[in-house]
Amino acid sequence: MSTLANTNRSLSDWQAMAAGLNIQTGLFIDGHYQSAKRQGSFASVNPATGQTLAMMALGEACDVDAAVANAQVAWRDGRWHKLAPRQRMDVMFNWANLVEQHGDELALLECLDMGKPITDVLNIDLPDVLRTIRFFAECIDKLEGAVTHTAANALHTIVHEPLGVVGAITPWNYPLLMAVWKLAPILAAGNCVVLKPAEQAPLSCTRLAQLFVQAGGPAGVFNVVNGTGQEAGRALALHHDVAKITFTGSTAVGKLLMGYSGQSNMKRVALETGGKSPQIFMPDLYDLDAAVDRAVGGIFDNAGQVCNAGSRLLVHRSLHDQFVDRFVTRTRELYQPGDPLDPATTLGPLASHAHLGNVQRRMDQALADGATQVLPTPAFTGPGAFCAPALFVGAHNRMAIVQEEVFGPVATVQAFDTEQEALMLANDCQFGLAASVWTSDLNTAHRMVSALEAGVTWVNCFGDGDMSQPFGGYKLSGNSRDKHASSLTSYMQIKSSWFNLQR
């Protein structure tokens, strides 16, 4: 069944399905759901309504210990990594098929838990989840080692081996997709995993683990411990039996994780820690309307809760006024808030009221610093954590609104006069995840892409790509790469073996 087959359902259809959802609330350890050892719980809240969806088991350090111990047993007896590559491929493909078959259920969990519009989940997130799992499944039997040229009395081999137990800590903005960007290569490489999803949106990840076991994945290979970052995340990062931590989230937490590695077993740490991506619009761009539309989507999709959101709009002074006018008009046309279960909704709430408060404080600070808001934020009534798109002009690089990640539907516009000035403004930032350039001149594009300090760059587009594209950044945006085949070997280690053939 295609995940795209039911996008024509009505609001009442989705509401009826949501009312019948069976939400699993336990931790998933050793192939089954179970309560937290200390019987703690926390509320999973629908940010569109403020209503509690379920009381989830609250995992603590003792639960992390149990999950890692089970994963270690599964690792040591080889129930996963010693399977023939084609057998592991079969499980991964079965898993993808089950995710597809349960696409409506997973979409509902994502929509209710995080506030993402149902149409976005069905048309964007779930297809990418399926592509990711199937891509890494295909990679499993494509790994090759090497036999080097040596003297006749020696044989030297170089092979990749899985690390063992990997800990994954994933964010709430794309709960299912960001988890699978890590889980698929971790599992394809032959590792076992303990996942700590974001406590703001754990529902889809918990169900994902159960589907892996239903697909034939051995118990203990894929475990999920819900809980807070301060308790469960910290315990996972400090655990001596965890060989690597992979994380997507804030820079502040990423720095803590690196410290925890040094305090424990010097485990590998892979970080993707956000961004403040510039979009540069040169005076010779092909089509201003098309560029504005992509700029609007680059910052306001997913209510701006995107790590590579193109929130810094650097516009040549000759285009500035008409760019701003069109940007404001198109934003009002394209982004309408509403019930995330309504297929017509194009703007969902932020993930929580706490996050809404953080975003609002940053906008208030921008006004206090002298920026002008030209896309007014209408007042929303009701219980939802909705935030209308906002655009600030008159901003400069010393303002917090330009330098700090807002992680909401907030953009700034800065005018520039020369290519050199545009590059200076773009690179004068602590982050370096992504950037784009809009120009009709290939020489200009090549020169600017070379100069931009960003791990992902686009020319005459924003956000495009496929599974051949490594995703990750420079500077405080982290040190890892997701999606690309190289992320598979990042969850492996190299073994060099030298054989003396003479006795």
Residues acting as catalytic residues: 272
Q: How many CB atoms lie within 10 A of CB 123?
A: 15
Which token pair is 94?
A: 């079965």
Residue 482 contacts by C-beta under 8 Å, 6 or more apart in sequence? 181, 182, 248, 272, 470, 471, 472
- Cα separation of 478 and 447, whole Å? 24
CA angle 117, 351, 3 (to 5 degrees): 30
DSSP category for residue 333: H
- Cα separation of 290 and 217, whole Å? 45
16-23 contacts at long range (C-beta below 8 A, 24 or more positions apart) = 17/104, 17/108, 18/108, 18/112, 18/341, 21/105, 21/108, 21/109, 21/112, 23/53, 23/54, 23/109, 23/203
Q: Which of 332, 326, 321 is nearest to 409 (CA)?
A: 332
Which amino acid is present at 190? G
Residue for token pair 């990711």:
132
- Cα separation of 297 and 300, whole Å? 5
In angstroms, the Cα distances linking 55 to 24, 68, 107, 147, 438 are 10, 24, 20, 54, 47
Residue for token pair 């790590």:
307
CA angle 295, 380, 123 (to 5 degrees): 45
In angstroms, the Cα distances linking 124 to 4, 15, 299, 301 are 10, 21, 16, 11
